[in-house]
Amino acid sequence: MPELPEVETIARGLAARVTGDVIESVWLGSKPEPLKSPAAEIAGTLELSRIAGVRRVGKHIVFDLESARVARAPSPAKKAGRARARMPAPTLSHASAPTSKPAQWIVHLGMTGRMLVSKPEDEIAKHTHAIAKLASGRELRFVDPRRFGRLSVAHGFEAVGSEPLEVGLERFVRLFRGRKTPIKSALLNQKLLSGVGNIYADESLFRAGIRPRRRAASLTHENLRRLYLAVQEVLKEAIALGGSSVSDYVDADGEEGFFQLQHRAYGREGEPCLVCKTHIKRVVIAGRSSHYCPKCQS
């Protein structure tokens, strides 16, 4: 399942490839699960929109859209793009928009979702649920065999929790202070931090020397400071690793898995700790496997 670093890497890869391109038409498949917004609304919002940017919000890929319809109207020969971008929202854009905020295409990859940048002649993979034809001639294709991924459109979409790579230390400390749940559960709580999943929670706790079952409320400021640094370090390392493999992911229609950070705890039950050789333990917390070193973590 793609976690924050994977989604960040994919969003960056997509941004580099399709920013500025215009979605000319949209095809949506007949399977209902991938469509979180009505098909007509998705198609109506995407068609004739320019992709102003692609970014990650929590574990979502967000395509920021702007209307491309005005671009076809004759405009005074002012300085190009910038001036146009500051103009008030064009009247033709997004008739169904409930607010004046620009439209967004939100993609959640679920377990097996992929967003591919394809050439029109590329064979259409099985389990393709959406195709956006771009003015450049390429296509954005959403492929998802298990159909846990979701496509929707929104205005002003924001994650509920704090962004782990942007949150400051004191805010981070306040998120966890006083909580009676195990710190592992708190790390996975998307209302606190947005986008930290099981693997990176275990890896962060290992690096911070904190057992996953410790109650969040029992952690000192220094514990939380170390955890804060560990979360950032782990996520940034994984994002750096992903840079080299993103082309396999967004440009190919193969089935390669995600790149992986060298795990120090996650998935290493019974294997020797890389620091002290003690066997890594596995416990289940809130239904999720948690891995830790009983000696290095307390």
Binding stretches for Zn ion (CB under 5 A): 273, 275-276, 278, 293, 295-296
Q: Which amino acid is at 3?
A: E
Report the nearest approach of Zn ion to the CB of residue 221 (Å).
24
Q: Would you say 169 or 275 has its CB closer to Zn ion?
A: 275
Report the nearest approach of Zn ion to the CB of residue 117 (Å).
42
Active-site residue (options: 2, 164, 182, 212): 2
Report the nearest approach of Zn ion to the CB of residue 197 (Å).
23
Active-site residue (options: 174, 213, 225, 288): 288
| Cβ atoms within 10 Å, residue 237 | 15
| Cβ atoms within 10 Å, residue 250 | 21
Main-chain dihedrals φ then ψ at residue 246, nearest 5 degrees: -65, -30
- Paired with 103 in beta bridges are 155
Q: Would you say 48 or 293 has its CB closer to Zn ion?
A: 293
Q: Would you say 135 or 275 has its CB closer to Zn ion?
A: 275
Q: Cα separation of 264 and 64, whole Å?
A: 36
Q: Cα separation of 219 and 200, whole Å?
A: 19
In order of 6, 203, 233, the CA distances from 239 in angstroms are: 7, 14, 10
Relative to beta strand 60-67, strand 139-143 is unpaired
Please indicate whether residue 203 is annotated as part of the active site: no
Report the nearest approach of Zn ion to the CB of residue 235 (Å).
22
Please indicate whether residue 179 is annotated as part of the active site: no
Q: Would you say 177 or 295 has its CB closer to Zn ion?
A: 295
Contact call for residues 151 and 42 (beta carbons, < 8 A): yes
Active-site residue (options: 17, 59, 133, 207): 59
Report the nearest approach of Zn ion to the CB of residue 282 (Å).
14
Please indicate whether residue 59 is annotated as part of the active site: yes
Report the nearest approach of Zn ion to the CB of residue 211 (Å).
12
Cβ partners under 8 Å of residue 111, min gap 6: 1, 146, 148, 149
Q: Cα separation of 105 and 112, whole Å?
A: 19
For the chain, what is the total number of helices (H) and then of strands (E)? 8, 10
Q: Would you say 100 or 298 has its CB closer to Zn ion?
A: 298
Rg over CA atoms, the chain: 22
Please indicate whether residue 2 is annotated as part of the active site: yes
In order of 54, 62, 64, 83, the CA distances from 49 in angstroms are: 13, 14, 9, 18
Q: Would you say 83 or 275 has its CB closer to Zn ion?
A: 275
Angle between helices 169-176 and 221-242 (to 10 degrees): 110
Active-site positions read 2-3, 59, 288
